[in-house]
Amino acid sequence: MKFLVLNGPNINFLGIREPDIYGKSTYNDLVQMITDYALTRGVEVTFYQSNCEGALVDAIQRAYYDKIDGIIFNPAAYTHTSVAILDAVKAVSIPTVEVHLSDVNSRDEFRRVSYIRQAAIDMVCGMGFDSYTRAMDILIEHLKDK
Ligand code: DQA
């Protein structure tokens, strides 16, 4: 199985941005942790992070041609605003799990809105880095049943 781990704006600033919310570990730490976990689960992972909405849409479309089996996706702030990202996930029909480090339901009101949710097979939030490994488990289970 080949998974894409896709991260949106400001996730490259982990460790610097609001450490009380997002923790002190960096984006590289996140990549390392997911890579290690993927090895134990026997899945191949590739990573992409961008601060630009269109670049994220391009990455989702690339995943289609690369025959990616599943997407673990933290669209970050674009979760709450982007119809383009929702449409891209719908367009490629690749099982996608929406992920957030923080508990988006217990923060600002606007963070409760998620455009991508209607295209995602599931959503995990509030578990820090473990949100990503939980999402990986969900995708593996989902694809096993196919
Ligand atoms: C986030 C939550 C979003 O509301 C926020 O804009 C982010 C990160 C999270 O991982 O908790 O940038 O997606």
Tally of residues, the chain: 146
Q: Enumerate residues lining ligand 1, CB below 6 A.
A: 10, 74, 76-77, 79, 100-102, 104, 111
Mutation to probe ligand 1, out of 10, 11, 79, 114 (largest number of atoms < 8 A from CB): 79
Task: Give me the CATH number covering residue 65.
Answer: 3.40.50.9100
Range of the domain at 94: 2-144
22 as an active site residue: the answer is yes
Give the DSSP letter string of 32-70.
HHHHHHHHHHT-EEEEEE-S-HHHHHHHHHHHHHTT--E
- Encode pLDDT of 93-116 as tens digits: 999 999 999 999 999 999 999 999
**How many domains is the chain partitioned into structurally?**
1
The pTM is what?
Answer: 0.97
Give the tens place of pLDDT for each residue, 9-66: 999 999 999 999 999 999 999 999 999 999 999 999 999 999 999 999 999 999 999 9
pLDDT at 60: 99
Q: Which positions ≥6 away from 105 have C-beta within 8 Å? A: 111, 112, 125, 126
115 flagged as catalytic:
no
